[in-house]
Amino acid sequence: MIYVLMSVACSVLVSVLLKLARRLEVDVGQAIAWNYVATSALTAMVFHPSLDVLRSPQAPWLGFVGLGLLLPVIFLALAASVRSAGIVRTDAAQRLSLLISLLAAFVLFGETLNAHRAAGIALGLLALLCMVWKIDQRQGENGRPGWLWPLVVFAGFGAIDIMFKRIALAGTPFASSLQAMFALALLVAFALQLWRRWHDRVRFTLRDAVAGALLGLANFGNIVFYVRGHQALPDHPSLVFASMNLGVVALGAVVGTLVFRERLSLVNALGLALALVAIGLIAWA
């Protein structure tokens, strides 16, 4: 279980780094771009993926391109959500995104819906509603209400999960898929930053590159430790899944409320509890 605990810590650390970015005067957009330099390099060094499979006519390049476009955009939405809605709500929304991929499994991939999963989905949607209930409008960015960003995170990570499953069904090895999507996300992220450099005269700085490397290390750690957790407990996938998701929601709540003094209403706290119950129901269905 040590791998799962480390994966949980890395996942929450990503949110903490995004939360600290403004006070440390880090440009989040540039940090996210450099993050993909780090994750691409680490994927090559740790997993040694074979790129031959990517040249195959059956390689799911539509899915790779979709992930390459979506990953940096949703990462930016994640940063906006952490700033406007806080770590507690954002981590809960990110983990509840499994509801979207679960619904897609029934609608698109022919899986069977049982009573426990149906109850988990219903509770999860209710939890999401409670978590975004009456978020302070003053916390919104660029005139957008604060509750919008957790919903974007919820929908975005759900779409990413569906794309991952599509790619997995195509038979492409996990490491090769990871390398392809990180490389494409790197290109998209730096294209966005070059546009900002030309349009807004934003300068690249060493501070942002270092912050991006740390962000990439935490981001990659979340992935690699989660994979190692499944490898260490091959006969207990539901235990790994549940421990990961419940752990992120719980640790995010502790860090957000105790370290960053994020305030939750009674309805928000109820939503947090419902999110934990919903994930548990889905995991052990």
* Per-residue pLDDT at 43: 96
Count: domains in the chain: 1
* Per-residue pLDDT at 141: 54
* Per-residue pLDDT at 138: 47
* Per-residue pLDDT at 221: 96
- Rounded to two decimals, the pTM is 0.92
* Per-residue pLDDT at 102: 85
Whether residue 241 is predicted with pLDDT greater than 90 in this model: the reply is: no
* Per-residue pLDDT at 142: 54
Write down the mean pLDDT value for the chain: 90
Average pLDDT value for residue range 202-225: 95
Contact 140, 146 (CB under 8 A): yes
The set of long-range contacts for 165-170, using a CB threshold of 8 Å and a minimum separation of 24, is 165/101, 165/104, 165/105, 165/109, 166/60, 166/63, 167/60, 167/63, 167/64, 167/67, 169/109, 170/58, 170/59, 170/60, 170/63
The tens digit of pLDDT for each residue in 115-156 reads 888 899 999 999 999 988 766 554 555 555 667 899 999 999
Structural domain for 206, as ranges: 2-283
Confidence band, pLDDT 50/70/90 cuts, at residue 14: very high
